[in-house]
Structure 1
């Protein structure tokens, strides 16, 4: 199964923090919906899922398998709760998916990356800079490089630029 990590980053390399005062760029959100629909699924952490869901309901994801990785989440109707990245991927394989879209947040991304479970990354770079923020951490104990190959880059509009990389194994 191919795994794709999808994230929106700031121009200075942090995760773009969304809030009611700072909603996600519509171009990045539309791109996420397109990728989730194409994959037929996405994997997300509980806090990020709750922020995405907002007022509740399936939103644009009625036909998409949503997997929430959480050690403590209770049942969420229409969503599969798992405890680990491996359990998330096993569930999606069992459902017949060939691609898994890992949509966030930082803890979920870092968990998948730290365990070597990511084949590709898609970064949508938003035209903002933040004074503080969360980052991707490949290995917190050692300074190691992860080489990547550029698969593509394109403007999404609204100043958002998408970078698509394959992770060298």
Structure 2
């Protein structure tokens, strides 16, 4: 199964944080919706899912298979809850998918990367500089080499880079 890690980063490389003073860039969120519709699914951590849910129902997500990875969440109506990255991929494969969109957060992204489960990175770089923050990283002493596939100006100062990652 092809796994695409999708993330929005600040100009200084941290995960871009959404606050009332710094809301998500609409260009990045529209791109996420587009990627999710193409995949038909997305995988997300519990905290990130709760952030999505707090915004209210999103009609763009109504027909998607949403998989929440959490080791301590009870069932959540309308989504699949699993306890590991491999369970998330197994569930989507059983449902007939050949690709999965990994949408967040930091702990989940890094767990997929540490287990060598990511085939592609889609990184949206916003024109915001933040203080210390969360980052995409591998365990100490590990590295993966990516190949630049594409760079796109999404508008609003958001630049997207897409990389393939060798497993």
Partners of 1:30 and 1:80 in 2: CA distance: 23
1:1-150 correspondence to structure 2 within 5 Å: 1-139=1-139, 141-142=140-141, 144-150=142-148
Residues 151 and 164 of structure 1 are in contact (CA less than 8 Å); yes or no, is this contact kept in structure 2?
yes
Distance apart, 1:162 and its partner CA? 0.3
Partners of 1:61 and 1:29 in 2: CA distance: 12
Q: State the secondary structure of the residue aligned to 2:152.
A: strand
Name the Cα RMSD after superposition.
1.1
Partners of 1:128 and 1:22 in 2: CA distance: 9
- Name the structure 2 match of 1:159: 157
Residues 53 and 59 of structure 1 are in contact (CA less than 8 Å); yes or no, is this contact kept in structure 2?
no
Normalising by structure 2, we get a TM-score of: 0.96
Partners of 1:28 and 1:108 in 2: CA distance: 20
Q: Which aligned runs of 4 or more in structure 1 are off by greater than 6 angstroms?
A: none
Residues 7 and 103 of structure 1 are in contact (CA less than 8 Å); yes or no, is this contact kept in structure 2?
yes
5+ residue gaps, structure 1: none
Mark the CA change 1:55 to 1:150 in structure 2 (over 3 Å): closer, same or farther: closer
5+ residue gaps, structure 2: none
Q: State the secondary structure of the residue aligned to 1:118.
A: coil
Distance apart, 1:58 and its partner CA? 4.4
Q: Give a deviation string over 1:26-48, Cα, whole Å, max 9, x none.
A: 00000000000000000000000
Q: State the secondary structure of the residue aligned to 1:74.
A: coil
Normalising by structure 1, we get a TM-score of: 0.95
